[in-house]
């Protein structure tokens, strides 16, 4: 069987489900589960994005609409999200170095980046609705609201996850390995980030 150093094996209450108390492949179950979950998420957004691209190819007037979206706030939001990804990586590094205080700070900054993104997105939506573009204004706007809205739901979920992780690891009684928690939250956050990198050209630049 596989050799395994148990020092870094995720949340113990989960690991102990294996009768011999070890992970068969040497990766914490929580991380395996997160990757499995993300592979499903990739297919959700993959399907949506492919559909969107197919629609864009069959609608020559698509670019007129994408000119109406605010590329400036879109770019600022990209910057905000990628900064958040950077800070969560730093948080994971700090947890590994047992520097919990800095880790709290970096997770907090990631939460702020998520909230900032949502705020800017809300302002953007408000402006577009004011210009009379709603869900009904043709396929571009339906896809725009559908996909960015679904993505915003993910940003919100990620922010909630980060908040929960921050509360969990800052409490005295630890539920398990904080490194594993932060790493998994970070995986989800990176995913949300990558999706946005696909949405930006699709709706703001095409």
Partner 1 sequence: MESIITIEDAHTEHQGFIRRYIFSTDHKVIAIQYLITALIWALTAALLALFFRTELASPGAILTPESYNASVTMHGAIMIFWVAMPLLIGAFANLCIPLMVGAKDMAFPGLNMLSYWVFFISSIVLFSSFFVPGGPAPFGWTIYPPLSADPRFTGAKMGGILFLFALILEFASMLMGGINYITTTINLRTRGLSMMRLPIIVWMQFIAALIFLLSVTPLVAGVGFLLLDVIVGTSFFRVTAQSQGDPLLWQHIFWFFGHPEVYVVLIPGLGIIAEVFASHTRKPIFGYKSIVYATIASAILSFVVWGHHMFVSGMNPSLSYPFAVTTIAISVPFSVILVCLALTLWNGSIRFTSSFLFALGSFVAFIIGGLTGLFLGAQVLDVYLHDTYFVIAHFHYTIFPSVILASFAGIYYWFPKMFGRKMSESWGKVHFWGTFIGFNIFAFPLFFLGIAGGPRRYYDITHIDYLRHFQWIHVLSTVGAILLIASQAPFIINFFVSIFKGKQAERNPWKATTLEWLAESPPPHHNWNGMVPIVVNDPYEYSPEEEREDFKPQGILISREEVFREGTDAPIGKH
The total of other beta-carbon atoms located within 10 Å of residue 129's CB is 12
CB of 78 to partner 1, least distance (A): 23
Q: Which is nearer to partner 1, 77 or 184 (CB)?
A: 184
Q: Kindly write out the interface string for residues 112-151 of this chain, putting x where it contacts partner 1 by CB under 8 A and - elsewhere.
A: -----------------------xxxxx--xx--x---x-
- The residue from 23, 110, 162, 177 that contacts partner 1 (CB under 8 A) is 23
CA 23-175-84 angle, to 5 degrees, is 90
d(CA 147, CA 90): 29
User: Does 20 engage in binding with partner 1 (CB under 8 A)?
Assistant: yes
Q: What contacts 194, CB < 8 A, 6 or more positions away?
A: none
Residue 1 binds partner 1, judged by CB under 8 A: yes
Please give the Cα distance from 56 to 87 (Å, whole number).
35
The piece of 16-24, 96-104, 174-182, 197-205 that touches partner 1 (CB under 8 A) is 16-24
Q: Would you state the structure tokens that stand for residue 39, as one six-digit string? A: 């592979």
Does 40 participate in binding partner 1 (rule CB under 8 A)?
Answer: yes
Should residue 2 be labelled a site residue for partner 1 when binding is judged by CB under 8 A? yes
**18 sits near partner 1 (criterion: CB under 8 A):** yes
- Site for partner 1 (CB under 8 A): which residue of 8, 12, 97, 164? 12
The reply to whether 3 sits near partner 1 by the rule CB under 8 A is yes
Residues in the chain, how many?
A: 206
The string of DSSP letters for 58-115 reads H-TTHHHHHTTS-HHHHHHHHHHHHHHHHHHHHHHHHHHTT-HHHHHHHHHHHHHHHH
Residues found near partner 1 in the complex (CB under 8 A) = 1-6, 9, 12, 14, 16-25, 27, 29-30, 32-33, 36-37, 39-41, 43-48, 51, 54-55, 135-139, 142-143, 146, 150
């Amino acid at each position: 069987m596989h050799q395994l150093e148990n020092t870094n094996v995720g949340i113990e209450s989960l690991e102990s489900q294996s009768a011999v108390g070890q992970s068969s492949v040497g990766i914490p179950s929580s991380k395996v589960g997160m990757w499995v979950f993300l592979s499903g998420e990739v297919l959700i957004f993959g399907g949506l994005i492919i559909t969107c691209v197919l629609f864009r190819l069959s609608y020559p007037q698509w670019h007129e609409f994408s000119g109406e979206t605010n590329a400036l706030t879109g770019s600022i939001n990209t910057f905000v999200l990628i900064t958040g990804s950077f800070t969560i990586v730093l948080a994971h590094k700090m947890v590994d170095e047992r520097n919990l205080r800095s880790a709290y700070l970096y997770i907090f900054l990631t939460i702020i980046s998520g909230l900032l993104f949502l705020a800017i997105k809300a302002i953007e939506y408000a402006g577009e609705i004011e210009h009379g573009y709603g869900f009904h204004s043709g396929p571009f706007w339906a896809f725009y609201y559908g996909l960015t809205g679904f993505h915003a739901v993910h940003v919100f979920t990620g922010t909630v996850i980060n908040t929960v992780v921050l509360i969990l690891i800052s409490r005295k009684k630890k539920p398990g390995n904080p490194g594993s928690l932060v790493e998994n939250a970070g995986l989800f956050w990176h995913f949300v980030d990558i999706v946005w990198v696909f949405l930006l050209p699709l709706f703001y630049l095409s």
